[in-house]
Structure 1
Amino acid sequence: MRAMRLIPPPDSREEIAQRLQVIANHQHLNAILGVNPDAMAIAEQCYQLRRAGSPIGPLHGVPLIVKDNIACASWPITLGCKGLTALRAVSDARVIQRLREAGAIILARANMSEFAFDVRSRSSLGGDVRNPLQPALTAGGSSGGSAAAVATGMADAALGTDTGGSIRIPCSYTGLVGLRPAYRRDMLDGVAPLSLSKDTVGPMAHCVRDAALLHAIMHGKKPIEPERLQLNSVRFGVIHALEGEESAQRRVWHHALDKLRGAGATLIDIELPILADVKLQKCLSLSEFQVAINGWLALQQNGPSSLQSLVSSGEYLAEFSPLLEQMLEVNSLKTPQWLSGRHFQRRLYQAIRHAAEQERIDVLLYPTVSRHPINLEKMPPGIAPELAAISGLPALTLPCGVMKNGLPVGMELLATTRDEHFLLSLALACENVLHAF
C-alpha cells in the first residue's frame, strides 16, 4: 500500500519553507503563476496552534497548490491569461473554503492551459508547463501546472479542473493519481467556467488515499478510508478499442492487466458501439463558453466586462484566436448544436449503464491516453477521457507501469454509477497490486 503523504507536519514553518524552496528550484518548469505571500505567516499560526494542542483539522499545516481558475479570496484569478491579470477573487471557492477549514495552507497558484482550452498547458502569462520527468515534453493540460507541482514536490497534492480530461491527462503524463468526480453543478461555486455541463473540480495526488481524503473534505464529508476490496470479487470491463497504437504503452498496459488478473480480478472484453459517435461529437464548450464566461466576468472585479472585450484587447495567446472567434458566434444556449450535445450526454450515460448491467461490470478499464507527448506541443489523447466527461460519471487515473523511455502509463477506471467511494476503494485495490510508480 502506498503511504499517505497528506499528514499534518510536526512543524508547518519548516514544511512551508522547504516547499517554497522547491518552487524556487523548479522555476524552469513554469508550473507556478504566483506564491501566497502570507504562506509563512499562516504556517507560524498553524505551528502555534499545534503547540497549544489545538490543530484545526485533518490537513493542519498541509500545503496545497491550486489551479489558477479556482478562486482564492483576494488573490489573482487569471486563467493563465494576460488580459485577466487585474482580476482578484472576491471570495474563496467552495472547495477552497472547505480545505482551509480543514487546516490546509494554499501555497501557490498553478499555471494552466489558457482558459483551460487545451490538453497542453500553455498560457500567455506562464508559458509552457514542462513535464518534470522529461522537461522537453509538455506536462499535459489543462491542469498541467498542478500536476508538475505535485510531481516535483512543491506540494503533495493539488486541485485541478477537468472538463474533457484536464485532471486525468496531466496526471497520466506525470505518474499521479487524478480523480474527476461525478458532475455536480453545486461544487463549481467559485470556479471559472469552461463548459456549464461538463466542468468538474478534483484532487491530484501521489496516491489514492490522499485523493480520497481531499475528495471527502472538498465535498463537505467526513473523511472515510476507502474500503479494502478484494479484486477476486470485481468484474472489470476492458475496452481494448481505446488502447491506442503505441507499442511501448500497450506492453505496459497488458502487463498491468495480467497483474490484475493474477490478483483474481475478472477481466471482460467490452465493446461499446457508441464509441464511434463519441469520436464525432463537438465539444459542448464551443456552445457554452461565451455564455458561461460572460456570466462569470460580470461577478468579478477589475476585469474585462465580456469575452468580446477580452478578445478585442488582444491580451491572450494568438493561437487561440480562431477558437475564440468561433465561440463568440454563439451567444445563447439551446442552439441545435447544444441540444444535440446534451442529448448525446444522456445517450452515452445510458449506453455505459446498459453495458454494465448486461455484463455485470463494476468498472470500465482502459489507458487514460492513447498517445504520449513527444515535445511541448499538444498530443491528442484520444477519446478515452471523454467517456467520463460526456457521461458525467466519475473516473480516476492511476499509474500502472512505466515505459522504457521513463514515461508512466496511466490506467483509467470509469465508474458505472456516481459512487466515488466505491471507485476510490477499487482504485486502492488496483494500486496495491500494481505498485507502478
Structure 2
Amino acid sequence: MTYHGSVLKKSGALLLAGAVIATTWGETVPLASAATATPSSKTTVATVSAGKAPVTATAFVQAMEEAATLAGVPFSMDKLSGTTVQRKDAALALQTWLKLESTPESFKDVPDQASFAGAVGALNTAGLMKGYTDSLFLPNGVLTQNDVAILKDRIYNYIKPFVLEEATITDLQAAMTQGKLTSKELVQKYLDRIEKYDDQGVSINAVLTLNPEALKIAETLDEERAAQGPRGPLHGIPVLVKDNFDTNDMPTTAGCICLKDSVPAHDAEQVKKLKAAGAIILGKTNLHEFAFGITTSSSLGGQTLNPYALDHYPGGSSGGTGAAIASNFAAAGMGTDTGGSIRIPSSFNSLVGIRPTIGLSSREGIIPLALTQDVGGPMARTVSDAAIMLDATAGYDKNDVATAYAVGKIPSSYTDFLDISGLKGARIGVATELIPSTKAEEKAVADVINNAVEELKSLGATAVPISIPNLAEINKYPSLSGYEFKFQLNDYLDSLGEDAPYHSLSEIIASGQFDKSQEQSMKTRDARETLETTEYKDIVLKRTQVTRESLLKVMADNNLDAIIYPTSTQAAGVIGEGQNSGGNNRLSPFSGFPAITVPAGFTTDGLPVGMEFLGRAFDEGTLIKLAYSYEQGTHHRQAPKLTP
C-alpha cells in the first residue's frame, strides 16, 4: 500500500498530549503554552513525557509492527541503532516503511540540507509527527513511551484499510487525502451498495432516482482536489436528498407519479449550497407522498422498508433518507420537517436528525407542505456529520425572508461545538409528561429514555424533572398543513413555468395520478378557499405565542440548557398496522425552535429509539454540544445487520 498527500491539518497540533517542556530552573510548562514561547538557551526538552521513560529502539519497532498487524498491512523496518530513538531517526524509519514522499518543511531547527529534512516534512505533512511548536521540531529529542503510544495510534489510523460502512465525513476526507480513495471510487462504492441492498436483496426501496452524472462530477472534483486542494469537509462527498428538494439535473417529484418527469430549472437553495461546498448529490430518496404522513409510501416509490426490521415502517415523511443513510447508501442526507419528518425517521433508523430554527436555512425550492412550519435539515449517522451538513446549508437567502432572522446568529462553524465534555455542568429539563408508558409500545420506548436520563447524569448533567406550561392547550392546536398546502403547492407549481406537468392541486386530483390512499386528504385541502380566516390567523399567532412563551418560561425558571423527551412515543410500527408517534414532535415546529434527535438505544425487540433535545431559537450550537457529548459517552448507534 502506498500513501501520499497529507491528512486534514489541525493547526498547532503536537505529537503529544500532555507533554511538557522543562526549564533549567525546574518549572514545567505545558506544550500548549510553550507553543507560543520564544525559544531561548535556558530551555531544554525533557526526556520524559507525562512521567514516562524514554522508549528503547526495540520497543519502538515492536510498537510499529503491532500497529501494522492490527491494520493488516505489511511491515518492514530496519533495526535502529542506539538504545533510544531520536525524533529524526523515527521520522526516517517511518518515511521508508510508509513510502512517504519527501516534503519541504519550515522548522527552524531542521536544516534544509539535513538528511532527515524530507522525512520530517513528510511525517509532519501526514499529521503523524508534528513539531513541538509551530517552528521547532526538536529532531534530537528522544521518544518516550507516551510518544510511541500516541504515534502507534496515529500510524494505525493512517494505514488501516478504508472501510466504507459507517465511515464518517471526516473519515472519508482523510481517506481521500491519504490517497486510499478517490471521490469517484467512493461514489461507485455507494452505487454498488444501493444496487445490492436497495434494488435487490433485502430491497429497502429508499432511493427513487440516481444522478446519472455522479461519477463524472466526482471525477471533476478529484481533479480539482489534486490541483488546488479540497473546498472543505464536503468536497467529493456523496449525499442523498429527499425528493421534495428541487434539483435541476434530476426530477423532483414529492413521490408522486404526477411529477415523475418534472425537472425544475433551478436547484433548491440548500442543494445549491451543498454543491458549492463540493458535495455530490448522489440521488433522490423516497418520501411519504407530498410529505403527508409518517410511514413513507408513495405512488412513485412504493413502500420504503426499515433496514432494522423489514416488516416495520422507516418513519416519515423523510423515511427514504432515513433508511438510506442508516443503510450506508451515502455519507449523509437531507430531509424536511413540518411536524416531525426529519426527527421521526432519524429516531426509527438510529440516526442523528436536526430540525433547525425556522429561518436558519432556506426553504426556497422545497415543495411545501406548510411554510409556517417547514424546514429542511440534515440526517446523518453521527452528530459531527450532521453539524458539517448544517454548516453547508444554513444561511441567508434573499428568496426566503425568514432567513433574515438568522443574520448574525450563525456561528463560524457548528463543528466548534463538538465538545465531548459538553454535558458536564449542563442542566437538562426532563419533560416527564412526554414519556408515557401506559401502552406496551410506549413502555418499550420509555424504558430506553429513562435509561438515557441516567446516562445524562453519569456524563455530568443535572436532570431536572419539568412540567411544560399550557401543554394541553398547545397539543389541541392542529398542524397548518391542512390549511396552507393547497395554496403553497399551487404557488410552487406556478414557479415551474410552462413546463409544469400540472398547474394546481385541483388538476392533480382530476388526473388520478397520485396515491389513492391520500385522495380524501387532498380533496379536503383542495376545498379550502382562503387563508383569510380568523381561525387560521388565530392558529398562526396564538399557537406560536403560547408555545414559545411556555417553553421559554420553563427553561428560564429552571435555568435549563435544553429539554429532552422521546422523539417518538412509540418505535417503528409493523407495516400495515399503522404508525403512531405521539405529539412530542409538535413542540419544535409550533414554536419554531430547533431540535435534534440522537440515538438513545434499542427496544428489547431491536428497534431504534431516539431522544430529542429541544432548545431556544438559533441555539443549534448548544444542542449539538449536548447531543455530541451524549453520543460520544454512549455510542448507541448500531448499523443494521441486514445491510452489512
Q: TM-score, normalised by structure 2?
A: 0.66
Q: Which residue of 1 aligns with 2:69?
A: none
8 Å Cα contact 2:422-2:625 kept in structure 1: no
The alignment-based identity, stated in percent, is 35
Alpha-carbon distance change, 419 to 224 in structure 1, aligned in 2, over 3 angstroms: closer
Partners of 2:630 and 2:361 in 1: CA distance: 30
* 2:213 is the counterpart of 1:14: no
Q: CA deviation at 1:5?
A: 3.0
What is residue 266 of structure 1 aligned with on the other side? 462
| Superposed CA RMSD | 1.6
Determine helix, strand or coil for the equivalent of 2:429. strand
Please list, as runs of the form range in 1=range in 2, the aligned pairs for 1:352-363 lying within 5 A after superposition: 352-363=551-562
Residue from 560, 564, 582 that aligns with 1:365: 564
CA contact (8 A) 1:290 1:328 kept: yes
Output the CA distance in 1 between the equivalents of 2:557 and 2:564. 16
Structure 1: how far apart are the matches of 2:564 and 2:508?
A: 41
Whole-angstrom distance in 2 between the partners of 1:141 and 1:64: 19
Whether the 8 Å contact between 2:469 and 2:551 is mirrored in structure 1 is no
Gaps of 5+ in 2: 1-165, 396-409, 638-644
Q: TM-score when scaled to structure 1?
A: 0.96
User: 410, 434, 437: which one pairs with 1:242?
Assistant: 434
- Where 1:73 maps in the other structure, the secondary structure is coil
Quote the residue 1:429 is aligned against: 629
Residues 252, 401 of structure 1: 8 Å contact kept: yes
Q: CA deviation at 1:134?
A: 0.8
Asked if 1:338 corresponds to 2:536, the answer is yes
- The residue type equivalent to 1:399 in the other structure is P
Q: 1:51 aligns with which of 216, 226, 231?
A: 226
**Quick check: which has more Rg, 1 or 2?**
2
- One-letter identity of the residue aligned with 1:368: T
Deviations 1:314-350 (A, max 9, x none): 1111111111111012132232331121121121011
**Structure 1 alignment gaps of length 5 or more:** none
* Alignment of 1:296 onto 2:492: yes
Structure whose residues are more often strand by fraction: 1
Which segment is superposed worse, 3-12 or 400-409? 3-12
Return the offset for 1:3: 7.7
For residue 5 of structure 1, what is the aligned residue in structure 2? Answer: 169
1:413 to 598, 613, 632: 613
Higher RCO structure (Cα 8 Å, ≥6 apart): 1
Equivalent residue runs for 1:14-93 within 5 Å: 14-26=185-197, 27=199, 28-93=203-268
1 CA distance for matches of 2:230 and 2:561?
Answer: 39
SS of the residue 1:140 aligns to = coil
Match of 2:575 in 1: 376
1:275 — aligned with what? 471
Residues 215-254 of structure 1: pairs in structure 2 closer than 5 A = 215-220=390-395, 222-227=412-417, 228=419, 229-245=421-437, 246-254=442-450
- Matches of 1:149 and 1:48, distance apart in 2: 28
2:193 maps to amino acid: V
Q: 1:164-203 alignment to 2 at 5 Å? A: 164-184=339-359, 187-203=362-378
Matched, 1:285 2:481: yes
**Aligned residue number for residue 338 of structure 2:** 163
The secondary structure found in structure 1 opposite 2:362 is: helix
User: Which of 162-171 and 53-62 deviates more?
Assistant: 53-62
CA contact (8 A) 1:81 1:123 kept: yes
Q: Distance in 2 between matches of 1:394 and 1:58?
A: 24
Deviates more, 1:219-228 or 1:205-214: 219-228
Letter in 2 for 1:225: T
- Picking from 505, 513, 516, the partner of 1:307 is 505
Q: Deviations over 1:44-81 (max 9, x none)?
A: 11222223244333211100001000011132110000
Task: After TM superposition, give the deviation of residue 224 of structure 1 in Å.
Answer: 4.3
SS at the partner of 1:225? Answer: helix
